Chain A
Amino acid sequence: MSFRNAPLAVIHDRDKTTLFTPEIREQIDIWIAKYPAEWKQSAVMPALTIVQDANGGWLTPELMNDVAAYLDMPEVSVYEVATFYGMYDLEPQGRHKVCVCNSVSCLLLGSEELIEHVEHKYDVRLGETTADGRFTFKEVECLGACRHAPAVLVDKTYHENLSPQALDKLIDELE
């Protein structure tokens, strides 16, 4: 909770044109334009997402510092956001992310069987990456796909009504 409601503006002594690539800066700028001019920090979440996607799915301290510099905000505020929200990863990830929903509607329809199956077949525990680096295996909170439970998010695509065999097929198709 914050009792203050002014932007935490800080000026970093860095040339913004040296941060990221022109394409990434352009994408972040689209977000900045959505908010009041003094509230560039509102773009911190989409900026982190864009930067993470371009970095193989995870954020380094350097990238977080760059986001802070680009948005004129304190570095610690960027770390707070990056550590608070579940979709940011601060460690190297596999080439893909396989995220199993294990909330109640999925649990009732077999999400635990999916998790056990993947753990055994691919020798990977929740939170770990397979030895070949193919995918990182995660348990996530309710994906909002309860009517087609159990659901799994593979990178950016929902897969629903999954049996262990159907999930195998999806995983086997990953590069």
Chain B
Amino acid sequence: MVPNQNSVCFRNMHLAATTRHTLDAYRSLGGYVQWEKILRERPDPADIIEEIKLSALRGRGGAGFPTGLKWSFMPRNAPGQKYIVCNSDEGEPGTCKDRDILRYNPHQLIEGMAIAGYCIGATVGYNYIRGEFYEPIQRCEEAIREAYAAGLLGKDIQGSGVDFDLYNHLGAGAYICGEETALLESIEGKKGQPRFKPPFPAQFGLYGRPTTINNTESLASIPVILEKGGQWFLAQGRPNNGGPKLFSVTGHVARPDNFEVPLGTPFRDLLELAGGMKDGRALKAVIPGGSSVPVVPGDVMMDVDMDYDSIAKAGSMLGSGAVIVIAEGTCMVKVLHNLSHFYMHESCGQCTPCREGTGWLERVLRRILDGKGRPGDLDLLDSVAGRIGGRTICALGDAAAMPVQSFLKHYRHEFEHLIEHGQSMAA
């Protein structure tokens, strides 16, 4: 495999699969050069943050918030403990990119977390990895051991006076812990129920201390941004949408996979990379950013570019970069029921509109799917979804509501047909 000069998180993918995750392999690509330079030169963290701002790196977990701006919210000179936390609780249906960073390129994440810690004044970092990721956990544990042994982590690292300790923390099966304040609660040994905001984590985070939480892919991008410059990263993508991004292209495509391509790549090119449609079927719909975002009809999607702003214009969101491709012949009622079942199961139960509403959505969709739908059911779905969205502490409520509203908007006739005839149009 030929190295791709423009890759970031996957820049080691051309190396031998048996060893590419090791410290030696990472060093061979210039790994830890940026961290050691920081240790040697002790630059002003504000300058690094400016470079990250220039790069227009936006949070890769789903919200797309500018990473540099987030770091600048931290009171880095305030006394007391501060934390950097990596959100490796990947679980948004359709998303499978962070798992590959964790198991194939863990050192780049470690270097990114160390640099982030330096910039925000945090001397301790936690990498929250979902509990089911047994292989990635093992790889990350090995990588941290290697980094300590090589004198890249710990106290007074390489005589620089800089301290940075890094630990993995494991989840145990709760989608909601991908919400950053639920994740903090979880590290504190509690149920993962999101906190009301404000105060935001930069003021009151882990153990009540200032904390920044970033996604795995965001943090793993940092060493390359520093190596090649914020301007280089920005130029890979589009204004306000810096860099390449990992897209997990899954569903009805010939070769589902993760692709690291520049933001702004046309969807049709991405589909081509994934080998086109599976078995030559026609494209029906695309969920372009993970199961939480609105569905987009296939013909519209064919003209959309894959960046935050273009997808927003098409009425959806880039989210986590999980591109779920759905072929003609698929029953959209069934797909929506699957999504609603997921959100019902994963609602933490804290806010009434979400706890009760997600159950209503699932049950009404179940009865429609079973051919027992009633005339009024679609209005009921619309109404319940509308009463969840915007009325909950965290975004899970919106994530449950948005698919319902968008499926009804674009595929209402399929729901009507099923209610009227008791069987799916797709059958």
Query: Which residues of A line the B interface, CB within 8 A?
Result: 1-2, 5, 7, 34, 36, 39, 41-46, 48-49, 71, 73, 77, 80-81, 84-88, 102-105, 107-109, 140-149, 153, 156-158
Task: Say whether B208 faces chain A, with CB atoms less than 8 Å apart.
Answer: yes
Tell me the complex Cα distance, A109–B324, Å: 11
On chain B, the residues within 8 Å of A87 by CB distance are 131-132, 172-173
A102 to chain B, nearest CB (A): 7
State whether A39 touches B188 (Cβ < 8 A): yes
- Tell me the nearest residue of chain B to A88, going by C-beta: B172
On chain B, the residues within 8 Å of A84 by CB distance are 174, 191-192, 348
State whether A39 touches B189 (Cβ < 8 A): yes
**Known contacts being A49-B170, A104-B324, A109-B251, is A144 close to B96, with CB within 8 Å?**
yes
State whether B326 touches A108 (Cβ < 8 A): yes
**Known contacts being A36-B207, A104-B324, A108-B330, is A147 close to B248, with CB within 8 Å?**
yes
A128 to chain B, nearest CB (A): 18
Task: Say whether B414 faces chain A, with CB atoms less than 8 Å apart.
Answer: no
State whether B193 touches A103 (Cβ < 8 A): no
Contacts A/B (CB < 8 Å), 27 sampled: A1-B350, A2-B193, A42-B169, A48-B172, A71-B189, A80-B190, A84-B348, A85-B173, A85-B174, A86-B174, A87-B172, A87-B173, A104-B342, A105-B322, A108-B252, A141-B93, A141-B342, A141-B345, A142-B95, A144-B95, A144-B130, A144-B133, A146-B93, A146-B96, A147-B249, A149-B250, A149-B251
State whether A5 touches B208 (Cβ < 8 A): yes
Contact pick for A141, options B175, B188, B192, B250, CB 8 Å: B175
On chain B, the residues within 8 Å of A102 by CB distance are 338
On chain B, the residues within 8 Å of A144 by CB distance are 90-91, 95-96, 98-99, 130, 132-133
Nearest 10 Cβ contacts at the A-B interface? A86-B173, A41-B189, A85-B172, A87-B173, A103-B93, A5-B208, A105-B250, A44-B189, A146-B250, A84-B191
Q: How large is the interface on B (under 10, 10 to 19, 20 to 34, 35 or more residues)?
A: 35 or more
- Tell me the nearest residue of chain B to A52, going by C-beta: B172
On chain A, the residues within 8 Å of B174 by CB distance are 84-86
On chain B, the residues within 8 Å of A158 by CB distance are 134-135
On chain A, the residues within 8 Å of B131 by CB distance are 45, 49, 85, 87
On chain A, the residues within 8 Å of B373 by CB distance are none
State whether B96 touches A81 (Cβ < 8 A): no
Task: Say whether B106 faces chain A, with CB atoms less than 8 Å apart.
Answer: no
Tell me the complex Cα distance, A49–B96, Å: 24
State whether A105 touches B171 (Cβ < 8 A): no
On chain B, the residues within 8 Å of A149 by CB distance are 250-251, 256
**Interface positions of B from 255 to 275, Cβ below 8 Å from A:** 256-258
State whether B173 touches A103 (Cβ < 8 A): no
- Tell me the nearest residue of chain A to B330, going by C-beta: A108
On chain B, the residues within 8 Å of A86 by CB distance are 172-174
Task: Say whether B210 faces chain A, with CB atoms less than 8 Å apart.
Answer: no
On chain B, the residues within 8 Å of A146 by CB distance are 93-96, 248, 250, 256, 322, 324
On chain A, the residues within 8 Å of B170 by CB distance are 45-46, 49
On chain A, the residues within 8 Å of B411 by CB distance are none
Contact pick for B190, options A77, A88, A143, A145, CB 8 Å: A77
Tell me the complex Cα distance, A71–B334, Å: 45
On chain B, the residues within 8 Å of A103 by CB distance are 93-94, 291, 338, 342
On chain A, the residues within 8 Å of B95 by CB distance are 142, 144, 146
On chain A, the residues within 8 Å of B252 by CB distance are 108-109
State whether A104 touches B132 (Cβ < 8 A): no
State whether A141 touches B91 (Cβ < 8 A): yes
